[in-house]
Amino acid sequence: MARYRDAKCRLCRREGTKLFLKGDRCFRESCAIEKRNYPPGQHGRDHRPKTVGYGVQLREKQKVKRIYRVLENQFANYFGKAEKGKGITGEALLLSLERRLDNVVCRLGLAPSRDQARQLVTHGHILVNGRKVDIASAQVKVGDVITLRERLRKNQQVLDSVGTIGGRGGVPAWLELDADGLKGTIAALPKREDIQMPIDEQLIVELYSK
């Protein structure tokens, strides 16, 4: 599968906002957005073209793709399912992305970033209701219990990540974390207000409606 191998901070600078791709570093003064809040590249500091219309819609789609670390075809599939389902299309799209297993692992604090959460999942370290699930895009449901394989329960990186979850905004209301037992539970389905990122999903709907 295609992977982005360049510096992740360039993605945040391109979108002009924090995408929280590097865990704890995004909450420190060393964050690239704090130091260089302009697009990457040779002329990024001096050349700031005004984006209107289609460009604004495209940038919003790219931003959401990069936040949740999904590829173009994956994102289009999510949108297609949201469009065919019930409810508001843009909201359904975001909530479906929010229910991805790798995102849930990150939101519980078992990993400081979605990339590291995906690595835990794909390497078979995550259990859902006691069974190994190694598909990062797997959708969680209410009542699911997320745990770690026994050999990873004493991993210092995991312990440090759980210990600093408060500094990364804490655990959202729709999830419950047992920090001592390194266990998370899906207490409810996520709601739109649980997604605090600056996202205007209506722009994405308008883009795909053309």
Scanning 123-210, the segments in alpha helix (DSSP H) are 156-163, 201-208
Residue-level pLDDT, tens digit, the chain, 210 residues: 456 555 666 665 666 666 666 665 655 666 656 566 656 655 556 566 666 678 889 989 999 998 899 999 999 999 999 999 988 999 999 999 999 999 999 999 999 999 999 999 999 999 999 999 999 999 999 999 999 999 898 999 999 999 988 888 899 999 999 999 999 999 999 999 999 888 999 999 999 987
In the chain, DSSP finds a helix count (H) and a strand count (E) of 9, 5
- C-alpha Rg value of the chain to the nearest Å: 18
The per-residue pLDDT for range 132-147, each reduced to its tens digit, is 999 999 999 999 999 9
Per DSSP, the three-state class of 87 is coil
Count of beta carbons in the 10 Å neighbourhood of residue 87: 9
Do 8-97+196-208 and 100-189 come out as alike in CATH topology? no
Domain ranges for the chain: 8-97+196-208, 100-189
Residue 124 and residue 149 in contact, taking contact as beta carbons nearer than 8 Å = yes
- CATH classification of 8-97+196-208 is 3.40.30.10, yes or no? no
Residue 145 backbone phi and psi in degrees, to 5: -115, 125
Smallest CA-to-CA distance from 163 within 175, 147, 180, 150 is with 180
In this structure, CATH architecture of domain 100-189: Roll (3.10)
CA distance 65 to 72: 8
- pTM, entire model: 0.84
